[in-house]
Amino acid sequence: MLSTPVNQLAGVGPAAEDSLHKAGIFTLWDLLLHLPLRYEDRTQLTPANECQAGKLVQLEGIINRSQEVPARRPIHVLSLQSQGLLIQLKFLNYQKWSHTLPKVGQSVRVFGQLRSDMHGQLELLHPTMTRLDAHKPNPLPDRLTAVYPSVGTLKQALMRKAIADALARLSQQPPSELLYQTHITLIEALKAVHLAKPGDALALSTGQHPAIQRLALEELTAQQLLARQARHAFAQSEAPALVAQTSLVTQLIERLPFQLTQGQAHIWATIAEELQQPHPMHRLLQGDVGSGKTVLAALAAAQAASAGYQTSIMAPTEILAEQLDASLNEWLTPLGVSCALLTASAKAAEKRQKLIDLLDGSLQVVVGTHALFQEQVNYHKLGLVIVDEQHRFGVEQRLALKNKGTHASQMPHLLLMTATPIPRTLAMSLYGDLSVSNLTERPPGRQTIETVVIPETRRDQVAERLASACQQGTQAYWVSPFVQMSESIEAHNVKDTAQWLKGRFPALRVGLVHGQLTHTEKDKQMQAFKAGYLDVLVATTVIEVGVNVPNASLMIIDNSERYGLAQLHQLRGRVGRGSLKSSCVLLYKPPLSEQGQARLEAIRHSQDGFALAELDLQLRGPGEVLGTRQTGLSEWRIADLLRDAKLHQPAMAQAQWIEQHTPERIAPLIERWLSNRLRFVQA
């Protein structure tokens, strides 16, 4: 019943079906999970003494006048006599449908928001209207009226009619109860949400109502079961045991220009042990900005090479891929490990040769972007896949890359890395199939970055400070949110900022980097900045990750109120990478919202990326923190990972009980809630 196509529901014709499909609603179940945006109370009439402008009202009365008012856009006006009040009902551009309006003398019930015209006359604009039959009772509804999120041009009445039909069908054939010991059945929960009782609106809207909690619990349980299945699948799969045959790893550690921190050494011991197992490692490495994740990736690649296997390292941008490639070449090439960069912008002949080297095994470590999982890329013996800034990749992309490694029924080990810490609340539900390591210790010598928050009215003074710092031999970043001026959004852009700085300080060597430049143009600017030929790099957030210039000690961010905490922390982490005292200036456009003020105060007082990630989750929610559309991981139907934090433990208990006592429920639960994410089991 839950999989009944929407075109079988009342009122859903071909046009409505098309609109629903575009909104991702294909079945009865999809429609019932399209929860109301809010509720209107039409269960009682509004007394005359409460009829005030700005209030939602429901009135009954008689139409005593009907007229069309000439205007550029003709207005049809009905006069409603109700409880001694005269209310004007106005309909714009209604001349074609004026014949459908009630006639003089007709009794009607109207609902809408009262407003007052320039003469103080109360009026309703396009009210909801019901004709009353004088010969039979016209009872008021006993439930709240649901208002649904827009679906194309579909009217609310059609949505309510289709959902009422869906609920009626489910009442005749209730869905299976897949949880245990719940105080409310699934059909009862759905009815409580769509046919809400008076007084329940607030609890439903905030997600605290037992019906919402019941639905969220089932969804979180399905996610836990999916994670457990993934973990079991990995445990039972075969992977090459990457047992080092040479002393490559020891040589690399000895040649490093620094000592591993205690945290790095501990996590490396764990990774090294897992790589030697005959089943795949599936680990997420979270490390704050500048905590030293790259060296752990290099050590893992060295162990794979020592065991005779290849490593593929994927990064979200070419800039980050180039930085990783440079570091790996510096560390691994002197030890005889061949490393190369493979990106979409590589020249055809160069790319062709690298593909040959990958296939015959002479290339041991390859770094790249999405080019790594294109069809023509094949490996000789891929034993390890490392994905940097993993939350920026869709799961399908991770899966496509990992499948490149299947060799003799074996899959490669998988190490996911991120410098954007994922709050524990999210990690429990999103990454239950992963082992998680947190690298929180900063390497010795890393500077604490002074962070100041300044209104953009002092932008000129900040520019003077930048020029002065550059005259003393340091370098700076200036980040603006847009590439060029926007007509709809008032914010700074990199093109104008670069020109402004050049005009104001002719001696200042200013570079420009943004996403619309070609790879060659971006690379030229980045290399010039890194080599010290540029004083200032004006950029968008393309420099958010992977850029390492120790001489850069000043970061200026325009319109900082537009960014989330994690992104601000990432940008700030581009400085303070050497021995120089470093600063980050957050320029904002006043007045700040309460949330904007909270964000900027938090980033000013904290250098802890994990603490900032937790706060970002509270302020902005999981969708924005993870970038929902990019990841596919936060597309929850009912559950809210922050609001429903108290349900995580019960969901884990449900999943464990179902697994042990009623395993036949596992597949139906996952299918019911996560059918669109079943590929995640292998991702």
Q: What is the DSSP string of 352-389?
A: HHHHHHHHHT---EEEESGGGGSTT---SSEEEEEEET
The pair of structure tokens assigned to 96 is: 């074609």
Specify whether 52 is located in the same domain as 34. Answer: no
Question: What does the pLDDT read at residue 595?
Answer: 80
The pair of structure tokens assigned to 664 is: 């036949």
Question: What does the pLDDT read at residue 425?
Answer: 57
Task: Please name every residue paired with 60 in a beta bridge, in sequence order, or none if there are none.
Answer: 109
pLDDT score of 683 more than 70: no
622 inside domain = no
Confidence tier at 515 by pLDDT (50, 70, 90)? confident
Which of 146, 110, 182, 132 lies closest to 31, judged by CA? 146
Rounded CA-CA distance 79/95 in Å is 17
39 C-beta neighbours (distance < 10 Å), count: 20
Confidence tier at 287 by pLDDT (50, 70, 90)? confident
Question: What does the pLDDT read at residue 432?
Answer: 64
Helix, strand, coil percent values for the chain (each to nearest 5):
45, 20, 35
Specify whether 312 is located in the same domain as 413. Answer: yes
Give the least confident one: 126-130, 178-182, 414-418, 515-519.
515-519
Specify whether 390 is located in the same domain as 273. Answer: yes
- Within 432-573, residue ranges assigned H as helices are 459-471, 494-504, 519-530, 565-572
In 568-662, which ranges are E strands?
A: 583-588
243 inside domain = no
Give the least confident one: 61-75, 431-445, 588-602.
431-445
pLDDT score of 80 more than 90: yes
Which of 476, 443, 481, 456 lies closest to 572, judged by CA? 476
Cα–Cα distances (Å) from 403 to 301, 341, 382, in that order, read: 18, 20, 10
Which of 554, 552, 540 lies closest to 450, judged by CA? 554
Specify whether 422 is located in the same domain as 346. Answer: yes
In 75-213, which ranges are E strands?
A: 75-82, 85-92, 107-116, 122-125, 128-131, 145-147
505 C-beta neighbours (distance < 10 Å), count: 19
Question: What does the pLDDT read at residue 568?
Answer: 86
Confidence tier at 233 by pLDDT (50, 70, 90)? confident
> Cα 321 to chain center, whole Å?
23
- Within 103-241, residue ranges assigned H as helices are 156-172, 186-194, 201-205, 210-236
The more confident residue out of 236 and 150 is 150
> Which CATH number does the domain housing residue 109 bear?
2.40.50.140
Give me the residue label for tokens 């109502």. Answer: 209
Mean pLDDT along residues 1-6? 88
Cα–Cα distances (Å) from 446 to 145, 299, 518, 607, in that order, read: 59, 21, 33, 12
Q: Is the peptide bond before 591 cis (omega within 30 degrees of 0)?
A: yes
3-state secondary structure at position 584: strand
Confidence tier at 364 by pLDDT (50, 70, 90)? very high
3-state secondary structure at position 555: strand
Which of 441, 454, 391 lies closest to 616, judged by CA? 391
3-state secondary structure at position 216: helix
The pair of structure tokens assigned to 641 is: 């990972």
Specify whether 344 is located in the same domain as 488. Answer: no
Give me the residue label for tokens 């429901």. Answer: 58
Rounded CA-CA distance 217/222 in Å is 9
Helix axes 248-255, 318-332, angle to 10 degrees: 100
618 inside domain = no
The pair of structure tokens assigned to 471 is: 């005259």
Question: What does the pLDDT read at residue 81?
Answer: 92
Mean pLDDT along residues 476-500? 84
204 inside domain = no
Question: What does the pLDDT read at residue 324?
Answer: 87
The more confident residue out of 620 and 503 is 503
Q: Among residues of the chain, what percentage have pLDDT more than 90?
A: 44
For 313, phi then psi, to 5°, come to: -120, 120
Specify whether 513 is located in the same domain as 586. Answer: yes
Confidence tier at 306 by pLDDT (50, 70, 90)? very high
Burial 353-385 (b: 16+ CB within 10 A, else e): ebbebbeeeebbbbbbbbbbbeeebebbbbbbb
Question: What does the pLDDT read at residue 399?
Answer: 55
Give the least confident one: 5-14, 244-253, 421-430.
421-430
Question: What does the pLDDT read at residue 645?
Answer: 77
CB–CB of 649/657 below 8 Å? no
Rounded CA-CA distance 443/26 in Å is 52
Query: Which tens digit of pLDDT belongs to each residue from 383-423?
Result: 999 988 755 554 455 555 566 666 667 888 989 888 766 66
Specify whether 98 is located in the same domain as 186. Answer: no
Cα–Cα distances (Å) from 452 to 583, 585, 600, 670, in that order, read: 8, 5, 9, 48
CA angle 130/136/137 to nearest 5° reads: 70
Specify whether 123 is located in the same domain as 271. Answer: no
Final residue before a domain boundary, out of 439, 462, 484: 439
Specify whether 365 is located in the same domain as 421. Answer: yes
Question: What does the pLDDT read at residue 331?
Answer: 94
Question: What does the pLDDT read at residue 682?
Answer: 43
CB–CB of 643/219 below 8 Å? no
Query: Which tens digit of pLDDT belongs to each residue from 137-178?
Result: 889 999 999 999 999 889 999 999 999 999 999 999 989 899
The more confident residue out of 426 and 522 is 522
Specify whether 533 is located in the same domain as 593. Answer: yes
3-state secondary structure at position 231: helix
Size (the chain), residues: 683
Q: What residue numbers bound the domain in which 278 lies?
A: 248-439
pTM: 0.68
pLDDT score of 308 more than 90: yes
pLDDT score of 190 more than 90: yes
Give the least confident one: 1-10, 271-280, 317-326.
317-326
pLDDT score of 256 more than 80: yes
623 inside domain = no
Query: Which tens digit of pLDDT belongs to each residue from 569-622?
Result: 888 888 887 778 899 999 998 888 888 888 888 888 887 777 777 777 666 655
pLDDT score of 625 more than 90: no
The more confident residue out of 472 and 613 is 472
Give the least confident one: 33-42, 129-138, 268-277.
129-138
Specify whether 543 is located in the same domain as 394. Answer: no
Specify whether 432 is located in the same domain as 553. Answer: no
Type of residue numbered 274: E
Confidence tier at 74 by pLDDT (50, 70, 90)? confident
Mean pLDDT along residues 227-244? 82
524 inside domain = yes
285 inside domain = yes
156 inside domain = no
Question: What does the pLDDT read at residue 628?
Answer: 36
CB–CB of 598/475 below 8 Å? no
Question: What does the pLDDT read at residue 50?
Answer: 87
For 630, phi then psi, to 5°, come to: -80, -35
> Which CATH number does the domain housing residue 463 bear?
3.40.50.300
pLDDT score of 626 more than 50: no
- Residue 502 carries which DSSP code? H
The more confident residue out of 596 and 5 is 5
| Helix and strand numbers, DSSP H then E, in the chain | 23, 21
Which strands form 583-588's sheet, in the order they lie side by side? 450-455, 583-588, 552-557, 475-479, 536-539, 510-513
Rounded CA-CA distance 555/558 in Å is 10
Average pLDDT across the chain, whole number: 85
Final residue before a domain boundary, out of 606, 632, 652: 606
Question: What does the pLDDT read at residue 143?
Answer: 93
| Counted domains in the chain | 5
Which of 338, 313, 272, 371 lies closest to 546, judged by CA? 313
